[in-house]
Amino acid sequence: MDTASIPPFPDDIPTHPLLVVDYERVKVGDPEEIELLWTAATKLGFWYLKNHGVDEEASGMFDMAAETMALPMEEKMKYEQGDDGMSFGYKAAGANAVDASGMKDTAQFINIAKDDAVAWPAQARRAYPSTVNARMDSTIVPFIEKSLAVNNTLLEVFNDRLGLPKGTLLQKHLREEYSGSESRCTFSPPIMERQVIGAHTDFGSLSFLHNRLGGLQVFVPGAETWQYVKPIPGHAFCNLGDAMAIFSGGILRSNLHRVVNPPGAQGALYRFSLVYFTRPGNSVVLRALTEESPMIAQAVANAPDPTKYNTGVTSYDWFTRRIKNQRIKNRKGPETWMASRGTEHTELTKVETS
Ligand SMILES: O=C(O)CCC(=O)C(=O)O
Ligand SMILES: [Fe+2]
CATH number for the domain harbouring residue 177: 2.60.120.330
Minimum mean pLDDT range among 16-20, 295-299, 347-351: 347-351
109 CA: nearest ligand 1 atom: 9
Half-sphere exposure for 282 (CA within 13 Å, toward CB): 12
Ligand 1 near 275 CB (within 6 A): yes
**Domains: count for the chain:** 1
Instruction: Report the percent of the chain where pLDDT is more than 70.
Output: 97
Looking at residue 221, its pLDDT comes to: 87
pLDDT per residue over 113-159, tens digit each? 999 999 999 999 999 999 999 999 999 999 999 999 999 999 999 99
CB 198 within 8 A of CB 97: yes
Mean pLDDT of 18-38: 98
CB 328 within 8 A of CB 102: yes
Ligand 1 near 98 CB (within 6 A): no
56 pLDDT above the threshold of 90: yes
Domain span at residue 295 reads 3-351
Minimum mean pLDDT range among 188-197, 279-288, 293-302: 188-197
Looking at residue 351, its pLDDT comes to: 45
Ligand 1 near 216 CB (within 6 A): yes
Distance CA 285, CA 311 (A): 8
CB 308 within 8 A of CB 277: no
The larger pLDDT score, comparing residue 347 to residue 183, is at 183
Judge if ipTM > 0.90.
yes
Pocket test for ligand 1, best of 259, 271, 319 (most atoms within 8 A of CB): 259
Pairing label, strands 46-50, 20-22? parallel
Looking at residue 3, its pLDDT comes to: 74
346 pLDDT above the threshold of 90: no
Q: How many other C-beta atoms are found inside a 10 Å radius of the C-beta of residue 7?
A: 13
Instruction: Report the percent of the chain where pLDDT is more than 90.
Output: 90
pLDDT per residue over 248-295, tens digit each? 999 999 999 999 999 999 999 999 999 999 999 999 999 999 999 999
Looking at residue 13, its pLDDT comes to: 93
Distance CA 221, CA 37 (A): 18
257 CA: nearest ligand 1 atom: 7
Mean pLDDT of 321-342: 92
Looking at residue 1, its pLDDT comes to: 55
DSSP string for 172-217: TT-TTS-BS-EEEEEEE---SSS-SEEEE--SSSEEEEEESS--EE
Residues 6+ apart with CB under 8 A from 112: 88, 128, 132, 140, 144, 182, 183
90 alpha carbon – ligand 2 mean position (Å): 17
Looking at residue 352, its pLDDT comes to: 44
Mean pLDDT of 295-306: 95
Residue with CA at minimum distance from ligand 1 atom 1: 273
Residues 6+ apart with CB under 8 A from 278: 147, 148, 151, 152, 155, 173, 181, 204, 205, 206, 207, 208
20 CA to centre of own chain? 18
Mean pLDDT of the chain: 94
- Specify the pTM: 0.96
CB 193 within 8 A of CB 267: no
